[in-house]
Structure 1
Amino acid sequence: MDELFRPLSFIRGPAMKNRFALAPMTNKQSADDGTASIGDALTTSVATPALTDKRKRRKVARAGAVGNFIEFFDFTLYGFFAVTIAALFFPQESPTAALLSTFALFGVAFFIRPVGAIVFGHIGDRIGRKRALVVAVILMSGSTTAIGALPTYETVGILAPVMLLLCRLTQGFSAGGELTGAMVLVVEHSPVKERGRNASWVIASIVSGVAGASLVALLVSFSMSSDQLLDWGWRIPFLIAAPLGLAGLILRLNLEESDAYKSAVQEMDGPENARTPLAQAFKTVKQEMLTLFGWVAVQSFAGDILVGFMLTYLVTRVGYAMAEALLIIVIGHVIAIAFIPVLGRWADRVSRKCFAAALAGALAIWTLPAFLLLSRGMVAAVVAIAVYATINYSMMTVQAFAVVELFPVDVRYTASAFPFQLAYALFGGSAPFVATWLVSNVSDLTPAYAIVVLALPALWLAWSAIPNAREMAVVSFLDTEPTDD
């Protein structure tokens, strides 16, 4: 394993002039052997081994899933306890200003994500996926636990919001490398015919994080008085990140790099092959990065309306009590957890384009009825949330395919993480604000119409830009030095 941790200077090489997708596979080909033929223009390629030990793949899936659970557990918790955090960490001369400051820190964590994506992408492509994900889970769980231990404004004054800001920046920075890194790790270890099934467990861990945070918030709210909640109860959910992070760290320390990544290290092993992954990615896979950006923009906008806006919408616009709204979200997400792996298995049986188009079409069709059902009672609201969550989170399975099937191995982490997190920052981070403005200034259903409008270009992306199952080149460079005529 020593070759994985050599200095970063070993990554420069000749420039690239061609695409590096291998010959695309039919569903039958991918189901039969999980491999693809090598394109003539490529230097070296590696097909993911179809007979990789299943126990090892389950271990990789667990290691990838735990960090995503912590990430979405934390981000959801922060939104649920925003009012409490505002009361404890900001001056109370203006409660509204304190709440706005709390949500401003929520947004800051999104906008630092692309920076984390660049840093963790570089580590993941040049030192190792394992190293990047170990650092990410330490930072994520550590900063989340730290929030639960912070002194309040009453105790240390202005230092309280400053320390909270530092924790949120650390969370956002680590999140920039977590989700896409976990997708790369899990899918890179998977044979083609099992990529949908294995990726779906990573996605299910995200939904579990949202559901878990909702459930914890519900239990804490029910089990203690308002004074107890303000005094110490709010800290408990954040402190839970400590044992979760330790479990994730243990799992990730015992991982091995994928065969594809090991081959990339061997191919790039030499001073003539040293180059910065981000620069190389922009030079060679800029169009593919735009494809991923577009798909994530749609999914993250729709997804963060569910995570960051829906609870407030159910309480303030539909009229549910807070406990009822939390229960609707928890049950809806639990149902989605059960169905996401089913759709993951279906994704392994149909073409990628068909799967992506079906989900984009379903999002366009279901969103408006879902918003209408929210006011028809708790059962109807649970159905609305469950189906919406299943569709939206399953769109992330397409993203998991894309990070492996759009990008060569040597720039895969960086080329996927940067557009992914940039789209998340611009569209996901702004979704609750945009939805709140639309509801306040237009109508209660306007956010649904906005999602429908965004889903239409996603349909076009599905058919024109999302690739079907294929293997990618190990390296993204070919000799392009000018030749004498």
Structure 2
Amino acid sequence: MATHSKTDRHITLLASLGSTLEYYDFVVYGMMAAYLSAAFFPSQNQTAAVLQSFLVFAVGYFARPLGGTVIGIIGDRWGRRPAFLISTTLMASSTLLIALLPNYETWGEIAVLLLVLFRIIQGISFGGELPGAMTIVGEFSSENRRGRKTSLVIASMNLGALLASGVLYLLASTLSKEEIVSWGWRLPFLAGGILGILLLIARNTVQETPVFQSIQERSKNHKPLMVLLGNHKFSLLKGAALTAFMAALTITNLYLPYYLPKFFGYESKDVYFATTLSFIFSVLVLPLAGMYADLFRHKTTLLRWTCASYIVLSLPIFLLLSTGTMLFLVTFLMIQQLFIALFVSTFFPILIRIFSPEVRYTGIAFCYNLTWAIMATLPMGLTAILDFFANPWVVPLTLSVIAGLSLVATWGTKEAILDVTNNRDEENVVKLERVG
């Protein structure tokens, strides 16, 4: 089994740093949707413009299953390292190109088409990023440390969101809305593109995992997707259903800069500031949640309690927002982050164990990204429903239903699969599966 070593720590650090920058590049669009709608989708109907902007946001998520599958196949056939470098290159280049893209007034519909194209490239890149990070970190880590290791990667992703939130808070505090729409929106993307280039240089030092090295010769003629669809349908369905709650909570947090000012009267800069504080909290609490999760013999227990608790508490949590005060806004966001931390600290170790090494990268990428692509329609759906009913309580109700779906998914699965504290060294005994 993998041991906790200097190499292990080095790989975790590089994977985490990469996740920070890649997540920053990917989410900054969603957090700037209100400004980008004015720059690329001029319309007398503000709701229609925001919907169009969120549609382009969702396009990135729609591209994730394709990107995750393609990059996952590369990772399972030719190595985790080359797949990692490909995802980094795509993200850095597409983010930089968005920063340099002329707006609608200059290039008209061509600008919109290019924005969609670059967003698709971002989605392809990010589709392979987190599955790759989890696969690499998981294969270098011992099982009794996977909860904390994978939680560190998620914490690093939240550092990326924290960085994005902080940059946007600074932007909203120093520039007028007109200045941001005119040129200020480019600055976060420019910073992300430059940092992405630095990330690519750093990731050249990433080593191949011992697990892949042990199956490398057998994997050259391997067809991961065919094996996955032929022999792992049940695992794919379980993985997708479990991903739903995490995806919904995370995407809803990105939706808040539009939702909170419109329905609860918060100013945009206050939402960005509170979001920044919540991400700081998340970065601190995620490693603790990972250590806590590693104490559980049966990880499904913590997953079930997390989902069930959210179903019961979602409405009271959202009622905090009706006070209109900054204190309760920050409290609300921290509670949201706590639920995410408790969920992901067990979710990813489970997902790593569900799939055998020969299909692990592809399997995680496929089910994880497919669910995120579906959940990416959540902002559009919520915007349309809220515009029709003008009832903000639609949001917690929707999240409760999704939490129920993930809760149901924890049952009906053999404990031998979900008990990730089982110390069988699966990597050394799994035989290559083939279809056809």
TM-score, normalised by the number of residues in structure 1: 0.82
8 A Cα contact 2:22 2:196, kept in partner: no
User: Unpaired segments of 5 or more residues in structure 2?
Assistant: none
Q: How is 1:222-237 mapped onto 2 (pairs within 5 angstroms)?
A: 222-237=173-188
1:444-473 C-alpha deviation (Å, 9 max, x unpaired): 222212222322342333354360114434
CA contact (8 A) 2:147 2:293 kept: yes
Provide closer, same or farther for how the CA distance between residues 432 and 476 of structure 1 changes in structure 2, counting only shifts above 3 A.
farther
CA contact (8 A) 1:76 1:214 kept: no
With over 3 angstroms needed to count, the CA separation of the structure-2 counterparts of 1:311 and 1:118, relative to structure 1, is same
Q: Structure 2 CA distance, aligned partners of 1:441 and 1:480?
A: 49
How much does 1:97 deviate?
Answer: 4.5
Distance 1:125 1:410 in 2: 6
User: Match for 1:256 among 196, 207, 232?
Assistant: 207
Which structure 2 residues correspond to residues 194-273 of structure 1 after superposition, within 5 A? 194-268=145-219
For 2:54, give the aligned amino acid.
F
Please list the CA deviations of residues 384-421 of structure 1 after superposition, one character each: whole Å capped at 9, or x if unmatched.
11021121244233332133211110111111111111
**Are positions 1:287 and 2:234 aligned together?**
yes
CA RMSD of aligned residues (A): 2.3
**Identical aligned pairs, as a percentage?**
30
CA shift, 1:289, in A, is: 1.1
Amino acid at match of 1:148: A
Question: In the alignment, which residue of structure 2 is the partner of 1:354?
Answer: 301
Q: Measure, in 2, the Cα distance between the counterparts of 1:104 and 1:323.
A: 24
Farther off after superposition, 114-123 or 237-246? 237-246
Residue of structure 1 aligned with 2:2, choices 46, 49, 56: 49
1:352-391 mapped onto 2 (5 Å cutoff):
352-376=299-323, 377-391=325-339
Matches within 5 A, 1:291-306: 291-306=238-253
Give the structure 2 partner of residue 87 of structure 1.
38
Q: Secondary structure at the match of 2:322?
A: coil
Please state how far the C-alpha of 1:230 moved relative to its aligned partner: 3.2
Question: Matched residues in 2 for 1:68 and 1:237: separation?
Answer: 17
1:110-129 to 2 correspondences below 5 Å: 110-129=61-80
Counterparts of 2:275 and 2:242 in 1: how far apart (Å)?
25
Partner of residue 167, structure 1:
118
2:16 paired residue number:
65
Q: 1:143, 1:167 within 8 Å by CA — same for their partners in 2?
A: yes
Q: Equivalent residue for 1:108? A: 59
Q: Distance in 2 between matches of 1:148 and 1:480?
A: 44
Residue segments in structure 1 that go unaligned for 5+ positions in a row: 1-47
* 1:299 aligned partner, one-letter code: M
Q: Is the 8 A contact 2:300 2:410 kept in 1?
A: yes
Name the residue aligned to 2:287: 341
In the alignment, the residues of structure 1 paired with residue 178 and residue 418 of structure 2 have an alpha-carbon distance, to the nearest angstrom, of 54
In the alignment, does 2:388 pair up with 1:435? no
1:121 Cα deviation after fit: 0.9
> Distance between the aligned counterparts of 1:301 and 1:236, measured in 2?
28
Q: Does 1:401 align with 2:355?
A: no
What SS does structure 1 have at the residue aligned with 2:418? coil
Contact 1:184 1:403 (8 Å CA) reproduced: no
In the alignment, is the contact (CA less than 8 A) between 2:235 and 2:355 conserved in 1? yes
Contact 1:142/1:241, CA 8 A, preserved across alignment: no
- Which protein has the bigger helix share? 2
Aligned pairs, number: 426
1:321 aligns with 2:267: yes
1:325-373 residue CA offsets vs partner (Å, 9 max, x unmatched): 2222111221122111101001111121222223223322332221011
Q: Of 275, 278, 289, which aligns to 2:222?
A: 275
Mapped contact 1:404–1:472 kept (Cα < 8 A) = no
- The Cα shift of 1:227 comes to 4.2
Query: What is the Cα deviation at residue 56 of structure 1?
Result: 1.7
1:276 maps to a residue whose letter is K
Counterpart for residue 472 of structure 1: 426
Separation (CA, whole Å) in 2 of partners of 1:285 and 1:168: 30
**Cα deviation per residue 1:263-307 (whole Å; 9 max; x = unaligned)?**
1214446xxxx3311110111211111110100122212221122
Is the CA contact (8 Å cut-off) linking 2:223 and 2:434 kept in structure 1?
no
Q: Is the 8 A contact 1:121 1:414 kept in 2?
A: yes
Q: Which protein is bigger by CA-based radius of gyration?
A: 1
**Hey, what's the Cα distance between the residues in 1 that align with 2:386 and 2:41?**
27
Equivalent residues of 1:140, 1:171 under 8 A apart: yes
Q: Distance in 2 between matches of 1:162 and 1:457?
A: 36
Any conservation in 2 of the 1:284–1:476 contact (CA below 8 Å)?
Answer: no
Secondary structure of 2:201 counterpart: helix
- Answer whether contact 1:181 1:413 (CA < 8 A) is retained: yes
**CA deviations over 1:67-92 (Å, ceiling 9, x no partner):** 32233323332123223323333455
Pairwise CA distance, 1:173: 1.0
Contact in 1 for aligned 2:51/2:383 (Cα 8 Å): no
Between 246-255 and 342-351, the greater mean CA deviation after superposition: 246-255
Match of 2:257 among 305, 311, 319: 311
**Distance across 2 between alignment mates of 1:88 and 1:94:** 14
